[in-house]
A and B are shown apart, each in its own frame.
Chain A
Amino acid sequence: MLSTVARLALAVVWAWAGLAKIADPDVATRAVRAYEIFPEVLVKPIAWGLPFVELGLAALLLIGLACRPAAWVSAILFVSFIAMIGSAWARGLSIDCGCFGGGGVTSTGDAVRYAQETVRDLVFLGLAVFVAVGPSSYVSVDQRMTS
């Protein structure tokens, strides 16, 4: 039961994150570029591909198809996000994480909340690991295929 809830919660997180980033491709581009991590050739593929990957993961988790691998991939992504936020933080960059939309650009000084963003992603990471290694969940395609 708990793993079903965790799986669906993870699906909602990905759906929310993906949809928020799709609205404006230019905003997404600026958000990725603002981290100053990726070479320019990779900025747009990441900015434009990632939200669709997030929606893909949301769909898999929602219907419960290939849940554990999808959760592992989710966990890897969250670890990467936490590392990127930490890197921006350590380098003293003043950016918005762009996690749920937003252009990585800040127009107000208090908009930077690296600690909050990190804690939030740690919670999501915990959720993903739980889905990946926890008990099987109900109402899933995986379950129908294996029972």
Chain B
Amino acid sequence: MASGHKRRGGGVSKQWWIVIGVFVAALAIGIIVQSSRSKSENAHVVAPKHALGPNGSEIEGATSAPVTVQEYADFQCPSCKAFHDSMSSTVDKLVKDGKIRFAYTYFPFIGEESVRSAAAAVCAGDQRKFFPYSNILYTEQRSENSGFLTSDQLVAFGKDAGITGSAFDTFEKCVRANTYDGFVRRSAENGSKRGIHQTPTLLVTGPSAKTFELGDQQLASSVAFEQAVADVAAGKT
């Protein structure tokens, strides 16, 4: 048998052809199978019923504000909670003073509970309660993908956020039907295409622009954050 193989002289090159064949076939199969499984690729995107800011974000503050602070975040991300806990009063103050417009952009990437909670927050946004709702999601944050964020839980948070009456019924239906599942998945996909690869990421734009990521003191210090906003407003880079 061995001599037969060697006589034909095809042993080694035949092995290479096997590997190349497997490589190409696996590549093709992978692309076909995974494109059919990709949830963002096949997402049924329903446009939210309320007005959105840049990149499908939830906005607060006057459009006349000279600086826009856009945050990419995931409700399950501990660092997003840390940013929220330490900086939301500063953000609120700057919004009230007309210095910034704040835009929250959905970037659910940690797991299915990230997608579910983000989709529920869009439902809350339809009832003009996105920001109170997101406060509750951060306050009640548990460990990632713990199973805590069920539909029942997300519906209950709606009451806590002050959604009542027929608005609550609409909200509940919206959450239970996973209405905005596709919308938030697509939002994460678009964020990734814009070069976002961690949360929280803050894009501060105005006359100039700055980007802040985890580890930057602007995410933890009010002084540094306000300085960054002032710098961007002044066109400093």
Q: CB distance A146 to B19 under 8 Å?
A: no
Measured CB to CB, the nearest residue on chain B to A36 is: B195
Q: CB distance A105 to B34 under 8 Å?
A: no
Additional A-B contacts beyond A60-B19, A66-B16, A105-B197 (10; CB < 8 A) = A26-B40, A45-B31, A47-B34, A49-B34, A66-B15, A105-B199, A107-B110, A109-B214, A146-B2, A146-B11
Instruction: Indicate with 1 or 0, residue by residue over A19-38, a CB within 8 angstroms of chain B CB atoms.
Output: 00010111111100110100
Question: In the complex, A103→B195 CA distance in Å?
Answer: 13
- A-B contacts, 9 of them at CB < 8 A, read A26-B39, A33-B193, A44-B31, A48-B30, A53-B30, A59-B22, A70-B22, A145-B1, A146-B5
Min CB–CB distance A10 → chain B (angstroms): 13
Q: Pick the interface stretch among B45-53, B71-79, B98-106, B157-165.
A: B71-79
Number of interface residues, chain B, beta carbon within 8 A: 45
Interface on B for A, CB 8 Å cutoff?
1-2, 5, 11-12, 15-16, 18-19, 22-23, 25-31, 33-35, 37-41, 74, 77-80, 109-110, 185, 188-189, 192-193, 195, 197-199, 213-215
Min CB–CB distance B118 → chain A (angstroms): 14
Min CB–CB distance A75 → chain B (angstroms): 12
Q: Would you list which residues of chain A between 40 and 99 have a CB under 8 Å from chain B?
A: 40, 44-45, 47-53, 55-57, 59-60, 65-66, 68-70, 73, 93-95
Q: CB distance A45 to B109 under 8 Å?
A: no
Question: In the complex, A4→B125 CA distance in Å?
Answer: 59
Min CB–CB distance A38 → chain B (angstroms): 12
**What is the predominant secondary structure among interface residues of chain A facing chain B?**
helix
Say which residue of B11, B37, B41, B214 sits within 8 Å of A94 (CB atoms). Answer: B214
